[in-house]
Structure 1
Amino acid sequence: MGTGTRGSGGPRSAVIVGAGMVGLSTAWFLQERGVEVTVVDRAGVAAGASHGNAGWLSPGLAIPLNEPSVLRYGLRSLADPKAPLHVPVTVDPDLWRFLLRFAAHCTWGSWRRAAHAGLPLNQAALDAFDELAENGVRAETHRAPVTALFRDRSDATHLLQELRRMREVGQHIDYTGLEGPDLRERLPQASGQITAAVRLDGQRYVDPGAFTRSLADSVRDRGGVVLDGFEVIETHRSADQSVVRSSSAETISADVLVLATGAWLDRLSRQWGVRVPVRAGRGYSFTVPTSDPVTGPIYLPEARVACTPYRGSLRVAGTMEFQPPDAALDQARIEAIVDSARPLLTGVDWDRRTDEWVGPRPVTPDGRALVGEVGVPGVYVAGGHGMWGLTQGPVTGRLLAELITTGRRPDPLRELDPLR
């Protein structure tokens, strides 16, 4: 694989398209292996899903989306405009083809394959973050459990089943049930409607935008180039060089090319033979003040809402909306999140929202990311991590850098073959 770029001991230069967590992690780990990197992005560092997501580093909850119950839930959601899963009425044939493929993968066999494919990434995810932090990325990861809240003990059944299934495929997860005074003491934000909780230990969280920007700073400090406002409209190979051309006709050449453009991956990857589609499963977030400090992430499974301590306040994130990645923010989706979360938490000033945001998460129909070399030596893709691009971004970059510089595909990437 890629022998044309490695004849003299490996590639010496790389151009990475996409300045999110996956693209910048790939650049950073390529630098560890002596490769000169240039990262380009049409908008800027952390301009997509790497900015406004919940900030969870939660391998224990990196559960594939394509379980059978999601299909049943999705069909019910079509008639509810406030449902966490939102598929707008549209004549977009590509979207409906994608959703039909996704539905075909909502089987336990396909789910288990996706879970096994993600397992190596989950197992090494936090170690990859530690490697970044120990070697120049000046942004903190906070250790804290994720606490899921429920109105009734029976409501926790589905989450507990998911966690048991993840354990069965090999994921190490520590979780504990909480009730009564113990729950109130540990999480005073739980409203009077909450009677039970499940605490997942061994998880972390970050300020995602700050971490991604710090990662970009580290890439620059180590001699890399990070260019904003560089919209790539064409990529090709010429004389063992990968060439990208911007909308302003500027070109950059390097030994290898990495496409890490998140929900926009299809636009550039299809010409290289990647046939697994990537769609934008857009998520919304905003920040609200709280009367008391929140000590760790809170999960509201009933509302499909994730809450995270964020700069002295609370970041609230939710919704899976299948809209074009560049579509405008829909205020109704923000209101739907507020309406679903308000009864479950206390001490939150829902009316003083700031930082309202929408961003696209790259979703594949089979629940597996796309990471590896395409059919042309020297061209690679990295994306399609769904809701877990932040958690799995650094380890993805580390594995891809190993493949690029050695020509040997690490075992964890076999099930993520972009040409499957």
Structure 2
Amino acid sequence: MTQKVAIIGGGIVGATVAYYLSQLPGHEQQEVTLYDDGTGQATKAAAGIISPWLSKRRNKQWYELAKRGAELLPQLAREANFDNEVYQQTGTIITRTDEADLDALYLLAEKRRTETAQMGEVLKLSAEEVAQRIPLLTNAQPGVFVSGGARLDGSKYIDALLKIATNRNLTIKQQRVTLNSDGNVMMGSKLERFDRVVVATGAWMKETLKPLDIDVDVRPQKGQLIELSVKNIESHQVMPVLMPEGERDFIPFGNGQLVVGATHEDDATFNLEATGEAKDDLFRSAKQMIADLTIDKVTGMRVGTRGYTSDFAPFFGPIPFFNKVMVAGGLGSSGLTTGPIIGKLLAGSVIFGGQPDWSKFEKDINLYISKK
């Protein structure tokens, strides 16, 4: 018997759910429709770093989730045949200027490497050794190199997965929809009935779930990045991603392309206008790394809206008092790392049913979703 599934939101979670609903055993019985108008989507604006292992977040469940996400991505890249513009294991470098802080970071990396094969090689690098690996830098700092780190282009990731899914059982409708009180999809006045609904609308989730008389702990946060044209160093087309202390993330893509960002703007709500203030801030951060950089090298900006919870932890799973509807939200700035594993878990639950125990990866979902 065919199960009709709706996915509302085509960001990293929604696209991953759609992909796995077209690949996992039982996909032949799934008829999937994805709704998304693309407005403000955080994933399409993101060019992110996959390197959660040296995070000092105290939330152990978040770390387990992010660790699993970082392990899943190279497998997914092979299965979906991603090219290097989508996902590439480049290694990451996290810098510290204080020697004691650098030693502590290195010891943390060594400890976690014993538990996590995906981390690969861990090295403590001098400033000179960092500059050798990223010759764009004129003001390198000492750091810790983790060879298993990677970069992911969010927009290209989505496009690649949805293309695969549409060749099997996915229909995409590029429009914004609402739910009715029964959890079915409303396209204007037209009702579409589904057996399961997955809501992954990020910062817009409050609005999406409003007809169910549900309150959600999600707030919007604006993020902006800049794209720059830099020196093309043919001998270094693959450079590590840099997480410099006190500066914005530094993501070289080779062929003279560089992305720097992102901002975290809590007061901008759903404003998607690229601002001169953000451009100047991000450029100043880039110039700290490349002294001879000039403002005319900025070739573009990306703007998106992330969804955050009050404790910065993601939540996902069936709504406890409305099991037909599953949700995923609050991923924040770690969405490119945690989104794929959340999407796979949700897809498995849609197909196989049951009441999976995801307490290893998240706090009680009732902390974030409640009846009004």
TM-score (norm 1): 0.74
Kept in 1, the 8 Å contact 2:272–2:303? The answer is no
Q: How much does 1:311 deviate?
A: 6.0
- Mapped partners of 1:373, 1:257: distance in 2: 9
How far residue 169 of structure 1 moved from its aligned partner, in angstroms, is 12
SS class of match (2:278): helix
Q: RMSD of aligned C-alpha atoms?
A: 3.0
In percent, how many aligned pairs have the same letter? 23
Structure 2 counterpart of 1:255 = 195
CA contact (8 A) 2:8 2:36 kept: yes
Quote the residue 2:222 is aligned against.
Answer: 282
Give 1:252 deviation, angstroms. Answer: 2.4
Q: Tell me which of 170, 179, 185 is aligned to 1:234.
A: 179
Aligned residue type for 2:37: R
Cross-structure match for 1:124: 68
2:137 counterpart residue number: 190
Q: Mapping of 1:54-203 within 5 angstroms?
A: 54-60=47-53, 64=57, 111=58, 114=59, 116-136=60-80, 138-140=82-84, 141-151=87-97, 153=99, 156=102, 163=108, 167=112, 173=119, 175-192=122-139, 194-203=140-149
Partners of 1:359 and 1:146 lie apart in 2 by 24
**In the alignment, residue 196 of structure 1 is paired with which amino acid?**
P
CA contact (8 A) 1:57 1:390 kept: yes
Aligned equivalent of 1:319, options 263, 268, 277? 263
Task: Using CA pairs under 8 Å that are at least 6 residues apart, name the structure with larger relative contact order, 1 or 2.
Answer: 1
- Equivalent residue in structure 1 for 2:43, among 50, 55, 58: 50
> Contact 1:16 / 1:40 at 8 angstroms: preserved in 2?
yes
Partner of 2:345: 399
Aligned twin of 1:100: none
Shift, 1:171, TM fit: 6.3
Deviation per residue, 1:89-122 (Å, 9 max, x gap): xxxxxxxxxxxxxxxxxxxxxx3xx2x2123322
Alignment counterpart, residue 410 of structure 1, candidates 356, 362, 365: 356
- Does residue 13 in structure 1 map to residue 4 in structure 2? yes
Distance 1:139 1:265, change over 3 A: farther
For residue 243 of structure 1, what is the aligned residue in structure 2? 184
Matched residue count: 352
Contact 1:371 1:413 (8 Å CA) reproduced: no
Pair 1:345 & 2:290 matched: yes
Deviates more, 1:118-127 or 1:198-207: 118-127
2:162 aligned residue: 216
CA distance in 2, matches of 1:274, 1:144: 42
Given that 2:248 and 2:286 are in contact with CA atoms closer than 8 Å, whether structure 1 keeps it comes out as no
Structure 1 outlier segments of 4+, above 6 Å: 168-172
Displacement, 1:131? 4.3
The range that moved more, 29-38 or 379-388, is 29-38
- Aligned equivalents of 1:157, 1:298: Cα separation in 2: 18
* Corresponding position of 1:87: none
Taking the aligned partners of 2:330 and 2:324, their CA distance within structure 1 comes to 20
Where 2:231 maps in the other structure, the secondary structure is coil
Do the aligned residues in 1 keep the contact of 2:48 with 2:151 (CA within 8 Å)?
A: yes
Gap runs ≥5 in structure 2: 368-372
Superimposed CA distance per residue, residues 208-240 of structure 1 (whole angstroms, 9 cap, x where no aligned partner): 211211111111111211111x11233332xxx
Matched, 1:388 2:334: yes
Question: How far apart are the structure 1 equivalents of 2:350 and 2:365?
Answer: 15
Cα displacement string for residues 60-97 of structure 1 (whole angstroms, at most 9, x for unaligned residues) = 25664xxxxxxxxxxxxxxxxxxxxxxxxxxxxxxxxx
